[in-house]
């Protein structure tokens, strides 16, 4: 599952949870629940980790003088890894904010 698919699935689940918290009925497109949500987060973190590992490997190969690795490959891989990490941080920030909002709802 790509990080974009994971993020899309995560956002769908977050919207559904937010609407349920407000008392709005939401038609479910995909299975939701703790396992599905946890798996989505796990897949997203795994994807970011893989991209960072790949970028580090390319950097090491380039620094070691490997002629099959170009500087542009290293830069593109590094930028992809950085963008994925920044996206994951933003999702984390949104999750923390949503959690705080839910905790502040008065019963």
Given this model, what pLDDT does residue 7 score? 66
Given this model, what pLDDT does residue 85 score? 93
63-88 per-position pLDDT tens digit: 999 999 999 999 999 999 999 999 99
Please tell me the distance from the alpha carbon of residue 15 to that of residue 88, in angstroms, as a whole number: 17
Given this model, what pLDDT does residue 26 score? 44
9-65 per-position pLDDT tens digit: 777 777 776 666 555 454 555 555 667 777 888 888 999 999 999 999 999 999 999
Q: Is 18 in contact with 26 (CB distance < 8 Å)?
A: no
Output the CA torsion sign for 40, 43, 49, 55.
negative
Please tell me the distance from the alpha carbon of residue 39 to that of residue 34, in angstroms, as a whole number: 8
Token output for 44: 């997203």
């Amino acid at each position: 599952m790509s990080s974009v698919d994971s993020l899309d699935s995560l956002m769908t689940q977050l919207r559904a949870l937010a609407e349920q918290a407000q008392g709005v009925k939401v038609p479910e497109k995909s299975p939701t629940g703790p396992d599905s949500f946890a798996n989505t987060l796990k897949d997203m973190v795994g994807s970011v980790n893989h991209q960072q590992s790949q970028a580090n490997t390319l950097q090491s190969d380039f620094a070691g003088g490997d002629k099959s690795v170009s500087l542009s490959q290293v830069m593109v891989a590094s930028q992809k890894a950085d963008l994925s990490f920044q996206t994951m941080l933003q999702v984390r920030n949104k999750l923390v904010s949503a959690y705080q909002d839910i905790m502040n709802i008065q019963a």
